[in-house]
Amino acid sequence: MTTNLSTPSAAAATTAGANAPQYAISAAIDKIYYGDFLAVRDSVIGVEKGKITGFIGPSGCGKSTVLRSLNRMNDLIPIFRLEGRVDFMGQDIYAKDIDPVSVRRHIGMVFQQPNPFSMSIYENVAFGLRLNRYKGNMDEQVERSLRRAGLWNEVKDKLKQNGLALSGGQQQRLCIARAIAIEPTVLLMDEPCSALDPIATRIVEELMLELKQDYSVAIVTHNMQQAQRVADITAFFSVDVSKGGRTGYLVEKGPTKELFDHPREQLTREYVSGQFS
Amino acid sequence: MTMTTADFSQAAAAKAVPSMRRSFAEPRNLRSYLLTLSVWLIAIIASVPLFSVLYMLISQGGARLSFDLFTQLPPAGFMPGGGFGNAIIGTLVMVGIGSLISIPIGILGGIYLGAISPDSKLSETVRFVGKVLTGFPSILVGVFVFGALVQAMGTFSALAGGVALAIGMLPTVLLTSEQAIRMVPQRMKDAAVGIGCTTTQTVWKVVLPTALPGIMTGIMLGIASAAGESAPLLFTALFSNFWLESLVEPTASLSILIYNFSGMPFPNQIQLAWSASLVLVLIVLVFNILSRLFGNRKV
């Protein structure tokens, strides 16, 4: 099989007209290795502007690996190696002259475990602004970010309190406020609700729907109902064990309703209907 | 055949109520009890040496404890009175020099080992060397600094003593810093990297503040053990009966004073040695307690 290296945006531009989807990130991942281990292969995926893209699939299917390679978080793992391209606004973020630190300032990330810093709520949000020597009014930007994260009313009277003293759901919204304070273009969320209770989950999900007006969002989730509730587009990944390894790959992607109601692939049908082992 | 609720309660009633009382007649209970008791006793025995040493120091050295000890110089041969103010200052100055050298190197090295490149060849080598240095005979450190510094400078000095103490403190500070830095959860580092921190910013703004209590514990333990060292000072700082005036002259220290005076045939000096021992133990104890306080601080 030959790998299609053309990016989704390029492919879409040639086939569709005015309604062609606009991509904030378009990735054509040929292979991702951890050392000798082939973790992901042949996955062409994009993050559409102003929409939520959900990544679903069984454990070990590489959905988190793919998400974390969209802002070069995987660079932290020394043995990580990617073949292919990840385009962000027309630039390949894996090109040699690209600084991964500035990539991450434009493509923010929210993690599985809420991970506020051990400092005040205010300082948590101001952290990224200080890194970037923010010139504007710090207090206003902190308030705006906390408001957009739906946390302002709960914390406005205790901004000096340590961020770790908040509840899990509040901590996760604090992390979202911290991520959006520096106004990234894309927000990547790696199972952001898996450590939260159902009520906190619902609040964060509502927040995501608000956020997509300003940001392009990609979310990894274990929870198919969550994908159906929030994602506009869903990508289904699976694991290929045929060659002795466990290699993840993209099975299919499409508008969420279509993917769940009329999947094109047999594997997808089995997974979304719960027959997948 | 299906069972009804009534059938169940009848079955339960038919069974005798089991005895659940604790009984030492049962061998496993007795064994457990005896083992607990012996572990308890051994734990007490383990703490006997420290408390008997403390008791002896307080009873022998406590009698002479007075303000004079801290302000006066050691007395000559048959003279009464006197103190060891110069030795206290000497110990503090040399531990200070040792800290100034070993703390920056130890912390920066710990950052490299724990955060920058934990698995590199260099890290593995440095870690191994650090562990070897931990068990290195301190008298040899003294001999080394004697050859490297004292002979070159032509004099025993506080500087040489400080360098010798630094070599002793370095592995403690280095390895505990590394440990503390490694304990910083990966999700904290992820958060910093994810928001666009460079490696330096991640270490400086997130990793170090989080690891600080652990690093301070290591520093305090290093200081505590350095303050009590005598062998490295024997060949480097020697001793002096006078106040410290320069860093490049022979310098008094509590540990060497104890060593010198305890062997003298004069009761006054022997008493002073006891008091100096008590003061030294108190100094070491203070730093040990400080290390516990830092260690207990919640992140």
Spans of all domains in chain B:
86-296
Q: What is the CATH number of domain B86-296?
A: 1.10.3720.10
Question: Between chains, do B187 and A113 touch, taking CB under 8 Å as contact?
Answer: yes
| A-B C-beta contacts closer than 8 Å | 57
Among positive and negative, which fits the CA dihedral B50, B51, B55, B56? negative
Query: Mean of the pLDDT values across residues A89-104?
Result: 90
The residues on B that touch A, with CB distances below 8 Å, are 119, 185, 187-198, 201, 205-206, 209-210, 299
CB A195 within 8 A of CB A168: yes
Mean pLDDT of chain A: 86
Q: What is the mean pLDDT of residues A57-81?
A: 90
Distance in angstroms (rounded) separating the CA atoms of residues B113 and B131: 13
Weakest-pLDDT range from A105-109, A130-134, B2-6: B2-6
B187 contacts in A (CB within 8 Å)?
A: 111, 113, 115
Interface residue A127 vs chain B (CB under 8 A): yes
Q: How far is CA A206 from the centre of its chain?
A: 16
SS3 A57: coil
Distance between first and last Cα of chain A: 27
CA–CA gap between residue B171 and residue B131 (Å, rounded): 7
Is the pLDDT confidence value at B232 over 90?
Answer: yes
CB contact under 8 A, B193 and A178: no
Residues of B in contact with A182 (CB under 8 A): 195-196
Rounded Cα gap, residues B62 and A211, in angstroms:
71
List, in order, residues 6 or more apart from A240 with CB less than 8 Å away. Answer: A41, A246, A247, A248, A249
Segment A51-58 shows an average pLDDT of 92
Token pair 């990330």 is found at A109
Give chain A's domains with CATH numbers: 8-272 (3.40.50.300)
CB contact under 8 A, A76 and B193: yes
How far is CA B153 from its chain centroid?
31
Q: Taking CB atoms and an 8 Å cutoff, what residues of chain B touch A71?
A: 194
Q: CA B299 to CA B296: how far, in whole Å?
A: 9
Tokens of B193: 């990297």
Average pLDDT over residues A185-208: 88
Place A276 in a pLDDT band, splitting at 50, 70 and 90: low
Q: Determine the Cα–Cα distance for residues B37 and B30; give it in Å rounded to an integer.
A: 11
CB contact burial A160-180 (16+ within 10 A = b; e otherwise): eeebbebeebbbbbbbbbbbb
pLDDT at residue B65, rounded to an integer: 86
Residue B293 has pLDDT above 70, yes or no: yes
